[in-house]
């Protein structure tokens, strides 16, 4: 087989959805081109942005940082910084932190580390220990739900602290497809509209979040890491066994074997629905409530993080 672009025999990857064969050079070129196109399509960045990249040390976040640093060279007025959130998961977070430090240093990107313990008062391990078994009287949800609430809140606060005006995360095509399907399965059509790929300032204290890998398949991110010799944390979080997303995730990857356009189609469907879903919505008018305790944007009077803190202080 020969590279579709240059005809060399040294093909490293054949894209299952369009059968395009790629040598290393053209794989990297196409990979970066797609990220640029995604950024432009959803108008993710402005020329003078200070972009905070959430870097966990996993493949998605390292690949994203690597790619954005390359793209950013054409935009000297912008700046990229990296933020790692240390959730406090013993025996797991240390390795991710090691890779995050290693790559930010290599790329000469300023790296900030924030932690649950320092910013919330409890590490994730402590929270789960206090709440007890899932399904017990104090804990309704899997660890990932609590972690997600706090990670979003702390990442937003961290971005504000470092003066960033946009946050980029490494969510990839299948992550996005999965989120769309989960919202449909739960009947949460409003959320489908809220999770718009366009950065929006919906609340004065909410730094807009963007996902430049929204149209990049996971398999290509893994390939990008491998062919460029980039190391990352491969072991899964010990709490992942509690994740609710499992079934939908398996469905996507299994179905994709015979229908390689599946995730692209799901994400495109959301794109087409968004104009209808966001019409006249409070979110688009910037009228999201503020939490009465911390002031952060919140769907209810008191945000989920503050309610969790209150619950923990009573245990």
* Positions that interact with Zn ion (CB under 5 A): 3, 5-6, 23, 26, 291, 293-294, 303, 306
Smaller CB distance to Zn ion: residue 69 or 291?
291
Give the number of C-alpha atoms closer than 13 A to the C-alpha of residue 132, restricted to the C-beta side: 8
CB-CB contact of 167 with 210 (8 Å): yes
Give least dist CB 11 to Zn ion, A: 8
Kindly compute the dihedral angle of the four CA atoms of residues 130, 134, 139, 142, in this order, to the nearest 10 degrees. 100
Encoded tokens for 185: 């399965």
Give least dist CB 174 to Zn ion, A: 26
Encoded tokens for 46: 């402005």
Give least dist CB 9 to Zn ion, A: 10
Give just the sign of the alpha carbon dihedral 261, 262, 265, 267. negative
CB-CB contact of 193 with 278 (8 Å): yes
Smaller CB distance to Zn ion: residue 81 or 306?
306
Smaller CB distance to Zn ion: residue 59 or 151?
151
Q: Exposed, middle or buried: residue 112 (CB in 10 Å: 0-12, 13-18, 19+)?
A: middle
Rounded Cα distance between 27 and 14, Å, is: 9
Give least dist CB 151 to Zn ion, A: 15
Smaller CB distance to Zn ion: residue 274 or 294?
294
Smaller CB distance to Zn ion: residue 3 or 267?
3
Rounded Cα distance between 156 and 129, Å, is: 25
CB-CB contact of 235 with 95 (8 Å): yes
Smaller CB distance to Zn ion: residue 85 or 267?
85
Binding annotation for Zn(2+): 3, 6, 23, 26, 291, 294, 303, 306
Rounded Cα distance between 96 and 232, Å, is: 7
Binding annotation for ATP: 54-56, 60, 85, 170, 175
């Amino acid at each position: 087989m020969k590279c579709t672009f240059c005809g060399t025999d040294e093909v490293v990857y054949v894209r299952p959805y369009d059968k395009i064969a790629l040598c290393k050079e053209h794989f990297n070129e196409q990979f970066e081109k797609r990220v640029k196109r995604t950024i432009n399509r959803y108008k993710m960045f402005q020329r003078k942005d200070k972009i905070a990249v959430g870097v966990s040390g996993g493949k998605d976040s390292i690949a994203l940082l690597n790619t954005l640093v390359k793209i950013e060279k054409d935009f000297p007025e912008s700046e990229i910084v990296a933020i790692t959130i240390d959730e406090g998961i013993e025996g797991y977070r240390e390795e991710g932190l090691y890779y995050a430090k290693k790559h930010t240093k290599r790329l000469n990107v300023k790296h900030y580390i924030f932690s649950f313990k320092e910013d919330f008062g409890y590490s994730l391990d402590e929270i789960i220990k206090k709440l007890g078994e899932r399904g017990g009287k104090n804990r309704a949800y899997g660890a990932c739900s609590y972690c997600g609430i706090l990670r979003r809140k702390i990442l937003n606060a961290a971005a504000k602290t470092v003066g960033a005006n946009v946050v980029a995360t490494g969510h990839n095509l299948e992550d996005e497809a999965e989120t769309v399907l989960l919202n449909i399965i739960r009947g949460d059509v409003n959320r489908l509209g809220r999770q718009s790929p366009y950065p929006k300032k919906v609340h004065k204290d909410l730094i807009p979040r963007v996902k430049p890998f929204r149209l990049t398949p996971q398999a290509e991110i893994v390939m990008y890491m491998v062919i460029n010799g980039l190391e990352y944390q491969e072991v899964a979080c010990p709490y992942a066994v509690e994740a609710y997303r499992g079934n939908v995730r398996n469905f996507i990857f299994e179905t994709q074997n015979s229908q390689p356009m599946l995730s692209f189609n799901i994400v495109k469907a959301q794109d087409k629905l968004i104009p209808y879903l966001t019409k006249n919505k409070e979110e688009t008018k910037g009228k999201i409530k503020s939490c009465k305790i911390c002031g952060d944007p919140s769907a209810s009077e008191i945000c989920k993080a503050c309610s969790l803190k209150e619950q923990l202080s009573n245990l």
